[in-house]
Amino acid sequence: MSGAPNDDREPPSSSRKGRRSALRVRRLPVTFSSDIRRVITRFFDPGGAARIRNVAERVNALSDTQVAEMIAFFRRELKTTRWMHALSPLDPDAAFSSRTDHQDEGAYTTWPAYSLEVLLQTGHSELALEWIGVDGGPGLVDVTRQGPFGQAYTHGDEGSPTVAGMPAKAPMEFPHIEKPVLLPGGKYAQVVIEALAGVQPRLGGEVEVEARDLGIELRLANLWLRGEGWRVGLPAGQPSGGVARPDGA
């Protein structure tokens, strides 16, 4: 945001009855720029430490059978070729609203990212990589051709609005009311760095790379950690941790 001082502008007033008076806007000589030394976080507290602990314990208590059933449900009713449904089209509640982010018409921008994370955590890396589109096939990577991640995308399969064959960003207009750019899209970077590459920058400790066996060679470059750039190499077909080194080391 920038502008010259004392640049007061007043929009033309309207003669229509019921309209509010004109809003006066004063521009200030202020400019916002990025600073990699600063991080702004917005902590989400779902109800206190006790509730967080309870949710974590319930997830950890899921049996292998329950996990397998949930993965099967995801593949059968939620996952699409390039995106997903937030709600199964077979769920009666799917007719309740036309909102793209939480109904069957599409999904909120981070639902596929969290789904990818779970697939990787439960040993379904081959399915996760295919869904991303690492072999050049259709996949989640296609939505990035529309620029920064938006609040939601259509599911992209048959009968769904698309842009050049890829899931379309949900519109800002009613009844969708979806933002064209949304910061939580950064979740995909976290999934690639931590869940896919296994990078774990321990607080006060070394930068570790957990064991991964993805069947592909993975390299990360220009990863900014602790004030310096890092590169990460993960060999193909080797079920062991990769190597993280500062650039120049």
| Digit-coded pLDDT (tens) for 101-118 | 999 999 999 999 999 999
21 Cβ contact partners less than 8 Å away, ≥ 6 residues apart: 13
pLDDT at 243 over 60: yes
pLDDT of residue 12: 42
Condensed to tens digits (0 to 9), the pLDDT of residues 42-98 reads 677 778 889 999 999 999 999 999 999 999 999 999 999 999 999 999 998 887 878
pLDDT bucket at 36, cuts 50 / 70 / 90: low
Domain range annotation of the chain: 62-187, 203-246
Tell me what pLDDT residue 19 has.
Answer: 53
Q: Which residue has the higher pLDDT, 193 or 96?
A: 193
> What's the predicted TM-score (pTM) here?
0.77
The confidence score (pLDDT) of residue 242 equals: 62
